[in-house]
Amino acid sequence: MGFFRKHAWAGAEKQMITSIVGAEMQLAGDIAFKGKLRLDGKVEGNIRGDYLILGETGVVLGDIAVNTFVCSGRVEGNVNVRKLSVAKSGHIQGKVESMDLAVESGAVLHGEIKSRSQQELRLVPGSALPDEEWEGRTQEAGLRKQGKKSQLA
């Protein structure tokens, strides 16, 4: 299960889950909470709180504003969080804004994505190219673009 893998902020996961919305539950209305909420059911409304874990069967039809969000389910709405981890089973459709972003290969993000600090944007280890290869490819692409511009001029 993806929740027990080490994330960039692994220390935060030691906090106990304080609330659970089971897979058979459906809620209509906004939710505000403190602590850590695991959501495996369906919520039609906005969610505000501290630490949200959206399980693989979890669905949110509304906006999410929390400090930490681990997404393995489906969200149709805007997501505004400090730390976001999207597992390969995760699907977010809407505007995403985060300071710390980790996305596993296979996850779906459909919409506008903003990072408040470009220096803090990172990918999940193992799902991206090594740093040296990434830098080489981006420099090579930059040279290709410059070459095309000079050919057009």
Sequence spans of domains, the chain:
2-122, 128-153
Say if residues 34 and 54 touch (Cβ distance below 8 Å): no
Predicted TM-score (pTM) of this structure: 0.69
pLDDT at residue 115, rounded to an integer:
80
pLDDT along the chain (153 residues), means of 10: 46 74 95 95 96 97 96 97 95 94 94 72 45 58 49 43
pLDDT at residue 121, rounded to an integer:
42
User: Residue 76: which H helix or E strand, with range?
Assistant: strand 74-76
Q: Read off the tokens for 61.
A: 């039809």
CA dist 73 and 2 (Å) reads 12
